[in-house]
Amino acid sequence: MTNGHAGTSRPNPTHGHAERVWVVIPTYNEADNIAALLTAIHSNVPQAKVLVVDDNSPDGTGAIVRRIANNDERVHLMQRGGKLGYASAVIQGLHYALAHGADIIIHMDADFSHDPAVIPTMLQMVRNGVADVVVGSRYVPGGSVVNWSLWRQWLSKVANCVARTLLSLPIKDCTSGFRCYTRDASMRARLDCIRVEGYGFLTVSTYQAHRHGLRVKEIPIRFEDRRFGKSKLSRRVIAEAIVALLRLALSRIGCFRLASKVIDERDETCGV
């Protein structure tokens, strides 16, 4: 377990009522995975509410979730009109969970690369008041990556090293999509001020959490490449992430106009 900001423990986020845990899952063409994933989540966290944010998947992912939701009040579906992207799916999911009283919000991938068995450990860390944000990390001691080529592992490690160096982040895995936020942290990080749509959103959201003084801690995970379906990581998404990182880095040495293309906190409508 590694630390972001140091600090004293903070009180349990439930404020005296029964804890409300929400899990947000962005999906696009995850029909082969989603039903089993929902079962696995509830095997590990029976009380959790799960919101699937589906981008009108042509393979019928949304229809599968709708059928499950009709028989299980813990499962919710947000069916969007098209392929609107990862970042907006996470942000809209956070908004939905907050509006429904979430105390703790987790977002994770739908393809079983993130093991639901890790969720109880994440929850315990925020319950104990030692973290505002918990990141499931491939690159802390005990973490690992399975079924990736050596080239892809090298590329991911280099990208994380560059991000940590350019943005002065004390986090080993800046691009992990397996995260747990307290209610307060999800609002203070102002994630919906981020103007990056693809997976570059993850690096920028790490930066946002750190710069707003949130205590970010990592726990090791075993990241296993998707069981079924195709990866959503395209060259365009990679290029967008690189451009966002460079703009943020340049903003730290005085090129502030570039930062507004990545994070625009002047926009009064943003701020989860």
At 8 the pLDDT is 45
Q: Alpha-carbon distance 272 to 255, whole Å? A: 26
pLDDT value, residue 254 = 56
Q: In terms of pLDDT, which residue wins out, 10 or 243?
A: 243
Segment among 81-85, 201-205, 266-270 with least mean pLDDT: 266-270
pLDDT at 4: 55
The two tokens of residue 185 are: 């942290």
Residue 212 inside a domain? The answer is: yes
Within a domain: residue 109?
yes
Q: Give me the pLDDT at residue 6, please.
A: 45
Average pLDDT, the chain: 86
Mean pLDDT of the 11-38 span? 86
Dist CA 16 CA 37 (whole Å) = 30
Is 132 within 8 Å of 215 (Cβ atoms)? Answer: yes
pLDDT-based confidence at residue 198 (cuts at 50, 70, 90): confident
- Asked if residue 224 is part of any domain, the answer here is yes
Domain range enclosing 31: 2-10+17-259
**pLDDT for res 257:** 55
Q: Does 205 fall in a domain?
A: yes
Here the CATH number for the domain that contains residue 230 is 3.90.550.10
- For β-strands 75-79 and 144-146, DSSP reports them as unpaired
Of the candidates 138, 148, 115, which has an alpha carbon nearest to the alpha carbon of residue 45?
A: 115
Ranking 79-93, 141-155, 167-181 by mean pLDDT, the lowest is: 141-155
| Token digits of residue 77 | 């579906």
When comparing pLDDT for 206 and 148, which is higher?
A: 206
Split into its structural domains, the chain has a count of: 1
Q: Establish if 119 belongs to a structural domain.
A: yes
Q: How far is it, in rounded angstroms, from Cα 186 to Cα 216?
A: 12
Segment 130-141 shows an average pLDDT of: 97
Lowest mean pLDDT among 6-20, 36-50, 136-150: 6-20
pTM of the model: 0.85
| CB distance 256 to 265 below 8 Å | no
111 vs 230, which has greater pLDDT? Answer: 111
**Percentage of the residues of the chain whose pLDDT score is greater than 70:** 79
Decide if 266 is inside a domain. no
Please report whether residue 267 resides in a domain. no
The answer to whether residue 271 is domain-embedded is no
